[in-house]
Structure 1
Amino acid sequence: MSAQASTSPSAPQAVEHLHVDRYTRGVIGPSLPMLGPVRDGGRITSGTPPGCWGPMITPLFQGGHEVTQPVAVEGAAVGDALAVRILRCDVVSRATSSGVMSFVEGRYLGDPFVAKLCSACGTPSPASHVEGIGGDAIHCDVCGAEVNAFRFANGYVIVLDKENRVSLTLDREAAERIARAPHELAALPGASEQHSILSLARADMPGVAAHMQPFLGNIGTMPSADLPDSHNAGDFGAFLIGAPHRFAMSQEELDRHKTDGHMDTNSVREGAILICPVKVPGAGLYMGDMHAQQGNGEIAGHATDVSGEVEVRVEVVKGLELDGPILLQRPDDLPPMARPMNAAQRAHVEALARQFGQKQIERNGPITFIGSGTTLNEATKVGLARAAKATGLPYDEILNRATIAGSIEISRLPGVVRVTFLCPLDVLDRMGIGHLVRQQYGIEA
């Protein structure tokens, strides 16, 4: 069931469950109609197309991903937050391709993710088609010229065993065999418009076995101005500042409008709770860019982007004004210093308090703030500042907590980080998320 959100008296009633099967062409923002609304506490499911390489080699797209059409949530107003429980995050693709990128000069205006053009006929963002296999397989529908703005500097095709959570990169012969009929293994959703990256058949490092641990690289609420979906973050978004295309912004505009949905944070996976800022009425939840695996830091610039199936449950948190996301990671994803103490450890702490005459022992729980910026240092400062603003704790206290009872972790180069620390439960209650933290980590009231 789907319907456009509206504020008119005839607006559709909120539904308990909404399945999304429509996608964007790389842009997310207020110009897009929202589906729904879904009721507060309801569920959203979707089959999500791959991000990154497929949209990158599809000139029609004006962003680096192909995310779901945004969904309105009943009761979500500007200045609230939206808690998103990730109930299911399953890989559907049986193969994908990725690697380190390089650009083809003359085939884009300022930014190859956003403003592609055909260097032969000058058509901006042309429709295109696949002819043959390999790096030169993408051709302009207008003039027929080869039109791909990207090349692999080093790339691979990888096959996936989702049941046993293992994967393997292939040699050139196998990669070319898949490239001639990529659609079955890519398993793109029916309404997806991207070309399959499997068509390029790059195979520079065959025989590498790797674990699988799927997560969502781009999930969040709609920014308050149209943005390329891949640029809804402080590092990629910096390329919009003074850009020579229609998405150009100032730094102040970018900071005001973005919601940092593009995190590439490998702990945004099944079992996690993501708490997102609401910057447009209805929130406009969207998701995509599932990765089959990635370590701490998308060092290569791209990971293994796959088609997936996602199920989430949403909850409006009234009056929690955020600039960027909060993440309640799975207990097994928490950095060791931020894990809640068990009963035996608490007993030892109580004994230590008695020994030194300390009467108060803080009750606390883990919380993670996402920070983004042009560098890792800048992203860390942003994450720390967001933590201080949202909690009301002094900035220097956040520094101390993140040092002795938390951690700073890389999510993506050049500039997305996780700032995690143990936060007093009374502060979390005041923020309106204490119940979520207690549920997530089994903390008694």
Structure 2
Amino acid sequence: MSQQVERELEVDQYTLGLVGPDQEWAGTVADGGTVRTHTPAGCWGPMITPEFRGGHEVTKPIAVEGAEVGDAIAIKIKDVQVTSIATSTGSMKERDRAFGDDPFVDHKCPECGTEWPETVVEGTGEDAVKCAECGANASSFGFEYGITTVFDDDYEVGLTVDSAAAEDLAERADDAMALPENSRQHSPLLYAPSEMPGTMGHLRPFLGNIGTTPPTEIPDSHNAGDFGQFLIGAEHDWGMADEEELEARTDGHMDVNEVRAGATLLCPVKVEGGGIYVGDMHANQGDGELALHTTDVSGHTEFDVEVVTDLDLDGPLLLPNEEDLPDISAPFDDDDIETAQALGEEYGVDVETDVGPIQVIGSGATINDATQNAFDRAGDLLDMSEGEVRTRSTFTGGVEVGRLPGVVQLNMLVPMDRLEELGMAHLVREQYDL
């Protein structure tokens, strides 16, 4: 880990699809400092590049001055800027014999058997990624149903294009994807998919994979309770024996579309320094990421960091932009409080007016498992019974789906005195001007 502490840290170096304490560190930023990252696109590029050991290309880990195991790090996202002019995405199909247990992790050439083969690009289309040893198509994935999407200059609208435009973009795939200099992935624009041309989509960029380093090495796309299921029983180097081993995860791979500019994300520190990493920027995504993939893009992110001492989290907490909260979890205004106080006087009840919204991230094999994980995490953190967590989340919140099959956000309004005891009330007050 770098010992030089930077007030402002620029990061443009990436891993080959792994997160863990043995990865080379990008540097150390001061508590209260600023990090700026330049990241390549996420899923599809690494997925079709057999050198990768995971499905994303995230930054090398960033240490935060003074962050110790058992603390938390608040990541205050200031800016998310897309640089790609286009991308390709869609639902996937796997290619037989191009992998062992997991098409995202243990790649091999289906012809010569070379593991994690180096590859070269020849032409365009789904046969373009060739094994450097034998020349066979070495990619583990193709599109079951794929689209190529272009973006307007302000990144407000996306538009799917036809085969001619998709082929033109494929011919200049790296430039159109704006892959950073140190990126090692092939651009998915090479595949030139062109289903449902002329379809418009609203854009709102966010980060699909951002968090802290787990204490054991994990493929970056599998650092979550749902994708992590593929590691259980796997025979490759990152296989796990059971669900208990998977508890080492830090749930950086959330695909929660509210993790965008203006949001604050609190992440557990499970290795000294925390090891923040960033990647998998998306131009847009509906709740659930129903195709399992969305509009992966390259881009710049800026965020400030703050160490929250002794805030012992099991997984991430999100403080989204107020406009992204469900109505039932929005902070109360003066009229609401006045009305409640009048009811309190009528019925002889002291009114709990000092409350704030939080979202507890849960993950698991299914949505139900993820929700139970969020109940458990919320109960442990807030010292509440499961009955109280369920009831507060029903009366003042609910569950939103980040990704199928198993990432959720558990919303609730929490008494501020509980958040004061945890040392995080100031973050909630700052976020929602309370």
TM-score range (shorter-chain normalised) is over 0.9
Match of 1:100 in 2: 91
- The code of the aligned residue for 1:400 comes to T
Find the partner of 2:394 among 403, 425, 430.
403
Is 1:213 paired with 2:204?
A: yes
Residue type of the partner of 1:254? E
TM-score of the aligned structures, taking structure 1 as reference length? 0.96
Letter in 1 for 2:238: F
Q: What SS does the corresponding residue of 1:218 show, helix, strand or coil? A: strand
Residue 25 of structure 1 aligns to a residue in which SS? coil
For 1:251 and 1:381, locate their aligned partners in 2 and report how far apart those are by CA, in whole Å. 18
> Does the aligned pair in 2 maintain the 1:81–1:317 contact within 8 Å?
yes
Paired residue secondary structure (1:284): coil
- 1:266-287 per-position Cα deviation (integer Å, ceiling 9, x unaligned): 0000000000011100000000
Give 2:229's match in structure 1, choosing from 232, 238, 241.
238
| TM-superposed deviation, 1:427 | 0.5
Of 270, 273, 282, which residue of structure 1 is paired with 2:264? 273
Q: Distance in 2 between matches of 1:387 and 1:256?
A: 16
Aligned equivalents of 1:296, 1:43: Cα separation in 2: 29
Equivalent residue, structure 1, for 2:380:
389
Match of 2:247, SS?
helix
1:184 is aligned to 2:161: no
Structure 2, gaps ≥5 residues long: none
The Cα shift of 1:401 comes to 0.7
Secondary structure at the counterpart of residue 341 of structure 1: coil
Shift in Å, 1:253: 4.8
* % identity of equivalent residues: 49
Within 2, Cα distance between the matches of 1:326 and 1:22?
Answer: 26
Counterpart CA distance in 2 for 1:62 and 1:162 is: 34
The alignment status of 1:329 with 2:329, answered yes or no, reads: no
Structure 2 contact 280–297 (Cα < 8 Å) conserved? yes
Give me the whole-angstrom Cα distance separating, in 2, the residues matched to 1:183 and 1:114: 23
User: Residue 273 of structure 1 contacts residue 327 of structure 1 at CA under 8 Å; is this kept in 2?
Assistant: yes
Aligned counterparts of 1:186 and 1:61: Cα–Cα separation in 2:
18
1:47 alignment counterpart: 38
SS in 2 for 1:385: helix
Find the aligned partners of 1:369 and 1:251 in 2 and give their Cα distance: 24
Q: 1:207-250 CA distances to partner (integer Å, 9 max, x unpaired)?
A: 10000000000000001011100000000001001102000112
Query: 1:425 pairs with 413, 416, 424, which one?
Result: 416
For the structure 1 residues 153 and 215, does the alpha-carbon distance in structure 2 shift closer, same or farther, using more than 3 Å as the test?
same
The 8 Å contact of residues 97 and 156 in structure 1, kept in 2 or not, is answered as yes
Aligned mate of 1:147, from 132, 138, 148: 138
1:30 aligns to 2:21 (yes or no): yes
Amino acid across the alignment from 2:31: D
8 Å CA contact retained: 2:87, 2:150: yes
Residues 83-142 of structure 1, C-alpha deviations (whole Å, 9 max, x = no match) = 100011111101000000010111101101000100111100001011111111110011
CA distance in structure 2 between the partners assigned to 1:211 and 1:278 by the alignment: 35
The equivalent residue for 1:284 is 275
Does structure 1 retain, via aligned residues, the 8 Å contact 2:71–2:312?
yes
Match among 262, 273, 290 for residue 253 of structure 2: 262
Q: State whether residues 340 and 351 of structure 2, in contact with CA within 8 Å, keep that contact through their aligned partners in structure 1.
A: no
Whichever residue aligns with residue 239 of structure 2, its letter is: A
Kept in 2: contact 1:299–1:412 (CA 8 A): yes
Distance in 2 of aligned mates of 1:322 and 1:96? 35
Instruction: Work out whether 1:19 is the aligned partner of 2:13.
Output: no
Residue 163 of structure 1: aligned partner: 154
The separation in 1 between residues aligned to 2:282 and 2:322, in whole angstroms, is 20
Moved more, 351-360 or 95-104: 351-360
Bigger shift: residues 357-366 or 386-395: 357-366
Give the direction of change, closer, same or farther, for the CA distance of 1:147–1:189 in structure 2 (3 Å limit): same
Note the C-alpha offset of 1:82: 0.6
| Equivalent position SS for 1:270 | coil
Structure 1 unaligned regions, length at least 5: 6-10
Paired residue secondary structure (2:306): strand
CA distance in 1, matches of 2:375, 2:151: 37
TM-score, length-normalised on structure 2? 0.98
Structure 2: how far apart are the matches of 1:365 and 1:282? Answer: 28
- What is aligned with 1:109? 100
The question of whether the paired residues in 1 share the 8 Å contact of 2:337 and 2:353 is answered with no
* Counterpart in the other structure of 2:285: 294
SS of 2:75's partner is: strand
